[in-house]
Structure formats: C-alpha cells, structure tokens
C-alpha cells in the first residue's frame, strides 16, 4: 500500500472515530520503514509527499460538512413532526420519513456545498414551525446577517375533483425566494385536513 494512502487511512480513522480507535503499532512501524526506504530513492521535493496533509484536510472538511448536514436533517425532521401535530403526524409520518425527508436532506446538502466549511458555523435553523395554515416548516439563515438562505415550506393543495395533498417545497435566496422547488407531495384525504400542530 502506498505511503500516502496508508497515512491518509490512519488519519481518517482517527478523525472519524474522534481518536477512540487508534491504528496499531505495527501499521505505524510499517509506515516508518516504508518512509525510510522511499526517502532513499526519491527527491526531497516530490509532490506526492503533500498528499497525506491535503487528503486529511479534505477528509476533515467532508466530515464537518457531513456533520452539519446530519445535524440539520435531524432538526428538520423534528421540526416537521412538530409542525404536523399529532392529528396529521399519525397519518403521514411514515411517508414523510420515506419520501420527503431524503429530499430535504439533499436540498440541505446542496445548500451546504455553496458555502466554505468555516461559513457553515454561521448557518442556523429557525426554532419554531408555523402553525394554523402557515406554510413555514423551517428556514436556514445566516446568523451573522440574519438573512434567510433557504426556506422549507409545505402547502395544502386541493386539485379539482381530487382530495387534499401536502406539497413540500423550498425557496432559496438565489432568486429572492420566488421559485418553488418541489420536494414531494403526500396525499391526505378528501376531507379538509386539520390545522398544523393540531392535537
């Protein structure tokens, strides 16, 4: 195994397990021996020697972005269930988790990819979904500027001669929140759904 790949794996294991799992002494010794033998036959400024550091930094950045996405997705799920309230939640919760939540996660991932890793720390989520007939589920905003970045909403629709549906969508700051980007739709019933957060 190449030295840079082995070192990268060692660093990645340490980062991913937060230091709980450390590579064995034999693996480090093998790296040390390999490093000595490679140093004898290669030029001191060989570009491949920078790869372990770059790979570790890239892995750390990916880890932080993945942690951000997971944290936001968990909070998105919690706030969505809170918005539905028990009356709606008992009917649509499973379909929401199976169909809608993965698309919310994809939208959060798309949003996070537009920001450098250090800027993700400034992104926060609103704390209370809208009740009654409000469309708002949650917004992700920049805490420094207090401006929204992406808004997640759900609208009640009733196409002619059909029952009620819940249309999940989001808006972004790119077009001043004008366009609807559809996440998915869940069918409710022919009867009017209760207000959001109904007990």
pLDDT per position as a tens digit, 78-115? 999 999 999 999 999 999 999 999 999 999 999 999 98
Binning pLDDT at 50, 70 and 90, where does residue 64 land?
confident
Q: Using CA atoms, how far apart are residues 30 and 48, in angstroms rounded to an integer?
A: 18
To the question of pTM greater than 0.75 for the whole model, the response is no
**Residue 65's pLDDT is what?**
87
pLDDT digits (tens, 9 = 90+) for 129-173: 999 999 999 999 999 999 999 999 999 999 888 999 999 999 999
Is 75's pLDDT higher than 50?
yes
- CA angle, 99 as apex, 97 and 104 as ends, to 5°? 80
**73, 101 in Cβ contact below 8 A?**
yes
Q: 191, exposed or middle or buried, with CB in 10 Å at 0-12, 13-18, 19+? A: exposed
Rounded to whole angstroms, what are the CA distances from 185 to 58, 102, 128, 169?
Answer: 36, 13, 22, 9
Q: Using CA atoms, how far apart are residues 167 and 155, in angstroms rounded to an integer?
A: 5
């Amino acid at each position: 195994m190449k030295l840079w790949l082995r070192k990268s794996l060692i660093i990645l294991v340490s980062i991913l397990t937060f230091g709980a799992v450390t590579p064995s002494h034999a693996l480090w010794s093998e790296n040390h021996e390999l490093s000595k033998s490679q140093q004898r036959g290669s030029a001191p400024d060989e570009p491949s020697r920078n790869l372990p550091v770059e790979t570790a930094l890239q892995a750390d950045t990916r880890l932080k972005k993945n942690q951000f996405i997971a944290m936001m997705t968990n909070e998105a799920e919690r706030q969505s269930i809170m918005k539905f309230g028990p009356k709606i939640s008992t009917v649509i919760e499973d379909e929401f988790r199976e169909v809608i939540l993965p698309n919310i996660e994809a939208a959060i991932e798309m949003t996070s990819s537009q920001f450098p890793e250090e800027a993700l720390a400034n992104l926060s989520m609103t704390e209370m979904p809208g009740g009654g007939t409000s469309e708002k589920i949650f917004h992700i905003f920049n805490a420094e500027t207090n401006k929204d970045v992406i808004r997640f909403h759900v609208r009640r629709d009733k196409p002619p001669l059909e029952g009620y549906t819940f249309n999940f969508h989001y808006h972004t700051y790119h077009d001043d929140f004008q366009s609807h980007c559809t996440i998915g739709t869940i069918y409710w019933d022919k009867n009017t759904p209760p207000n959001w957060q109904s007990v």
